[in-house]
Structure 1
Amino acid sequence: MAVANDFLSSSTLCRYKSYDFRFSFQTSKLDICKVPVIRYGSVQSATIGFSRRKHILQLRPCINSASTVGSASSKSDQDADTVPMPMVLIDQDSDSDATIVQLSFGDRLGALIDTMKALKDLGLDVTKGTVTTEGSVKQTKFFITQLGTGRKVEDPGMLERIRLTIINNLLQYHPESSERLAMGEAFGIKAPQKKLDVDFATHIHVKEEGPKRSLLYIETADRPGLLVEIIKIMADININVESAEIDTEGLVAKDKFHVNYRGAALNSSLSQVLTNCLRYYLRRPETDEDSY
């Protein structure tokens, strides 16, 4: 019932104006491979699959909703003019037992069954999910653990694969997102019109958070393999990463790392060394090795 409470909290239901949500629970495991692809706006029902039980989500229009034809036409016009900002957030701080992945793309996301299947193909288990709506933005959260061990994801390479897998699914099922994502340059149907100057887009700050750790904040132009390289640079100078928050907002990566050096916060000299190393790498036009 924990999953049901997450999905059906009163604060969530009151925000949905277009649909009335109903769930039924069965103990059998969902065979995701047999579920048809669900695209935005094409169906009236959706199935959300989790590894431990099956949840069936039925979307029914509210009785007092406005004219369907008129609202659909108005929405279509708005969609044609404005493509929302795609956002993928990987949070390692908020839950001690699971990695939290939050995904939003305006109100265009559907049931995300293909995304959950892709995560399972990576050897991961989606243990819980929540959906909330704030204004016109729908946010979906997945609580992810490693399949078999039940532990949160710690490996930076796997975290980067999770990020790129979700972005790849966005590009596949919402091709219009390619003009707002850095990955759209190479993998989308339409490259972003806006180009970021890496020198101007890159900001690095190190702040002490008590005697035992520091907070490293990095904002820079997004590209594949970015997270892995950042972790590698810190490992090369013996800086330990305790936890991280990986935030992809369109063309920009905004990452926070809780770090320490031999169990202590970084002093000013080491903070400067770290900043210089990261700035050198981030401003290079290309990496020496191929990434994901």
Structure 2
Amino acid sequence: MAVANAHLTSSFTSIRLRSSDFSSVKSFPATKSHLYLLVSPRIDSTRNKNVMMCASVDGVDSITSRSFSLFGPETDYVPMPIVLIDQDTDPDATIVQLSFGDRLGALLDTMKALKDLGLDVLKGTVTTENSVTQTKFFITRLSTGRKVEDPDVLERIRLTIINKVLKYHPESSERLAMGEAFGVKPPEKKIDVEIATHIHVKEDGPRRSLLSVETADRPGLLLEIIKIMSDINVTVESAEIDTEGLVAKDRFHVNYRGAALNSSLSQVLVNCLRYYLRRPETDEESY
């Protein structure tokens, strides 16, 4: 069966999916029999949700997932969509994590979209805890077998995941900055870039510094930040790219010629980032 190592307690559910499970995407023909595994996280009066994993009995490549309500219609509450790209935790793979309340999402379609970017999905995990479902992908470049380092590819991964969230959960568009251009309903409240932008640099050992950037999200933001750092010869060693609804919260391990940034260069970096990030109309052509 395509669902391996299913672990269930009264409040925590973890499902691990092999990379071979994502080799192709097939729909469920009406003539085939199917085996359903009901995975039940903790049920309470506020989030009456279960997650069902469905797989055909004659193949592991036709697994899908869906969420459903046990006790009536779904609530109107729209949770916060979060997309996290983690370059630090795993030495060999880039980790992409998606959470959107208790909505599980379309796993295989997302996996196929990542493969279309030239990426190899090593494995995927689905974890449900306290009514929040997290989908995590471990990916590498097909061409090299190594984690993703190219900022352009990282941004394409981020936008691909967000586009899938918008496709399968159109209600998320009111909680995402991308909903302004690509969603069915733009966010009701816009983020004030002046207020939302926070930039900090601190030492992280003798050979590198930690840059934290929080600002209003927009397409191309990661490339913009990387370009600014490159212009002043600051090297990015690794990054954690966190999109939380309308806000981007990114962390970068950086250095200058193999050493941590001194106070003068740190201030230059902060000033440059603040100048460009507070100008949301800036596009790549203005570089």
Q: Of residues 212, 221, 240 in structure 1, which corresponds to 2:216?
A: 221
Structure 1 stretches of 4+ moved >3 Å: 19-23, 25-30, 34-37, 40-44, 53-61
Q: Does 1:8 find its partner at 2:5?
A: yes
Partner of 2:54: 45
Offset from partner CA, 1:61-97 (integer Å, 9 cap, x none): 9xxxxxx98x341xx242x2x0011000000000111
The alignment partner of 1:8 has SS state of strand
Q: Which amino acid aligns with 1:45?
A: C
Contact between 1:214 and 1:265, CA under 8 Å: does it hold in 2? yes
Larger proportion of helix? 1
Determine if the alignment matches structure 1 residue 35 to structure 2 residue 27: yes
Instruction: Name the SS for the 1:287 alignment partner.
Output: coil
The answer on whether the counterparts of 1:132 and 1:138 sit within 8 Å (CA) in structure 2 is: yes
How far the C-alpha of 1:111 sits from its partner, in A, is 4.2
Match of 1:35, as an amino acid? S
- Number of matched residues? 264
Residue range with higher mean Cα deviation, 142-151 or 175-184: 142-151
Contact 1:146/1:153 (8 A) holds in 2: yes
Is the aligned partner of 1:110 residue 2:105? yes
* Structure 1 residues 106-161: Cα deviation after superposition (integer angstroms, max 9, x where no partner): 11123421111110110111111111112010001100011132111000000000
Is 1:140 the counterpart of 2:132 in the alignment? no
Question: Percent of aligned pairs with the same residue?
Answer: 69
Pick closer, same or farther for the CA change 1:258–1:36 going to 2, 3 Å: farther
Partner of 1:193: 188
Q: Which residue of 2 aligns with 1:64?
A: none
C-alpha distance in 2, partners of 1:224/1:135? 31
CA distance in 2, matches of 1:283, 1:251: 15
* Structure-1 separation of matches of 2:127 and 2:9: 10
Q: 1:276 aligns with which of 263, 271, 274?
A: 271
TM-score (norm: length of structure 2): 0.82
Unpaired segments ≥5 residues, structure 1: 48-52, 62-67
Q: Secondary structure at the match of 1:140?
A: strand
Question: In structure 2, do the counterparts of structure 1 residues 239 and 58 end up closer, same or farther at CA, with 3 Å as the change threshold?
Answer: closer
CA contact (8 A) 1:21 1:58 kept: no
Say if 1:28 and 1:54, in contact at 8 Å, map to a contact too: yes
How far apart, CA to CA, are the structure 1 residues paired with 2:190 and 2:19?
48
Residues 14, 125 of structure 2: 8 Å contact kept: no
Distance 1:269 1:109, change over 3 A: same
**1-structure distance, mates of 2:103, 2:274:** 36
- Contact residue 86 and residue 106 of structure 1 kept, 8 A: yes
- Give the residue type in structure 1 aligned to 2:27: V
1:121 is aligned to 2:120: no
Structure 1 residue matching 2:145: 3-state secondary structure:
coil
Q: Which amino acid aligns with 2:148?
A: V
Query: Which residue of 2 is the match for residue 171 of structure 1?
Result: 166
Q: Cα–Cα, structure 1 residues 29 and 203, in superposed 2: closer, same or farther, change >3 Å?
A: closer
Q: Which structure features the higher share of strand residues?
A: 2
Pick from 117, 128, 148 the counterpart of residue 153 of structure 1. 148
Unaligned stretches of 5+ residues in structure 2: 30-48
Report the alpha carbon displacement of residue 55 of structure 1 after superposing the two structures with TM: 5.8
Question: What does residue 255 of structure 2 align with?
Answer: 260
Q: Distance in 1 between matches of 2:266 and 2:101?
A: 37
CA change 1:124–1:16 in 2 (3 A) is farther
